[in-house]
Amino acid sequence: MNAPVAPPSTPMAQAMLPASAPFLLQLEGIQTFYGVLQVHFGLNLHVCRGEIVCLLGGNASGKSTTMKVILGLVKPRAGRVLFDGQPITDLPTPQIIRRGIASVPESRRIFPEMTVRENLLMGAYARADREEVRRDYEQMLERFPRLRQRLDQRAGVLSGGEQQMLAMARALMSRPKLICMDEPTMGLSPLFVDRVLDLIQHINQQGVTVFMVEQNANLALQIAHRGYVLQNGHIVLEGAARDLLGSSEVRDAYLGGDAR
């Protein structure tokens, strides 16, 4: 697959609203539990418009649960989530999606028994503007020529890297303001890792804000603007990506595990 090439100005860029609220996404004092196990201990973070922000952390740090809280799949016991200045904490997932958040779930989660075409169009499920959807669909196929070749194949037979491309294309089909990615490089060959990273940057340059959860700190920090490091449900570090990359504290957070 070629590196994605697309005209600089796209509908996605236009979809961006003027900056009415200071942050596009904001998490305030989130506390989450799985039964008796507490996952988040008062989590605070924010994502500004146009940013790539990554949430880093080792195993069982609560990264993926953060993603689920944003998407409304897990409801926090305390705290709130604001999107575009509006609280979305209590909204059901489909309504959160309709507000302009798209998700690239962990391990892709494409619909394996549906065709590539159907998968792509499922991404636009929440949209009513059929004509525009068609345009975006065509554009997506131009950007991902590999998917065009496989339009009528079951998505389950695609390779891991192709599935990741499909999952990202599917997310873009909703014309999101914010795209949430959970470990987008996990399990991919080095070649595809590179492509996925380029693609994330490209999407971002077109005006889509990106929030990604990654275990792979070295990679994520190379493309992100800012990063947070989560450890045992606490944010232990935050800062500009260039400061975090190679910092000893990040390593402590990953390898130490006893700080908190």
Where does this chain bind other proteins (CB under 8 A)? 35-38, 58-60, 71, 73, 92-94, 97-98, 103, 105, 109-114, 118, 121-123, 125-126, 170, 174, 186-187, 190-191, 193-194, 197, 214-223, 241-242, 245-246, 248, 250-252, 254-258, 260
Minimal distance, residue 185 CB to other proteins, in Å: 8
Distance in Å, CB of 178 to other proteins, minimum? 13
CB of 231 to other proteins, least distance (A): 10
Amino acid type, 23? F
| Least distance between other proteins and beta carbon 75 (Å) | 12
Intra-chain end-to-end CA distance of the chain, in Å: 44
Q: Which is nearer to other proteins, 30 or 110 (CB)?
A: 110
Least separation, in Å, of the C-beta of 188 and other proteins?
11
CB of 236 to other proteins, least distance (A): 13
Give the residue with the Cβ less far from other proteins, 38 or 148.
Answer: 38
Residue 154 CB, shortest distance to other proteins, in Å, is 11
Q: What b/e readout covers 108-119, taking b as 16+ CB neighbours within 10 angstroms?
A: bebeeeeebbeb
Nearer to other proteins, 18 or 34 (CB): 34
Closest to other proteins by CB, 58 vs 79, is 58
CA–CA distance, 33 with 28 (Å, rounded to integer): 16
Question: In what side-by-side order are the strands of the sheet with 101-104?
Answer: 101-104, 178-182, 209-214, 52-56, 226-231, 234-240
* DSSP letters spanning 97-164: HHTTEEEE-TT----TTSBHHHHHHHHTTT---HHHHHHHHHHHHHH-HHHHHTTTSBGGGS-HHHHH
Q: What is the 8-class DSSP label of residue 244?
A: H
Our CB check for other proteins shows the closer of 7 and 190 to be 190
**Cβ proximity to other proteins, 9 vs 135, nearer residue:** 135
DSSP notation for 115-131:
BHHHHHHHHTTT---HH
Distance, in Å, from the CA atom of 7 to the CA atom of 161, rounded to the nearest integer, reads 24
110 or 168: CB nearest other proteins:
110
Q: Return the percent helix, strand and coil in the chain, to nearest 5.
A: 40, 25, 35
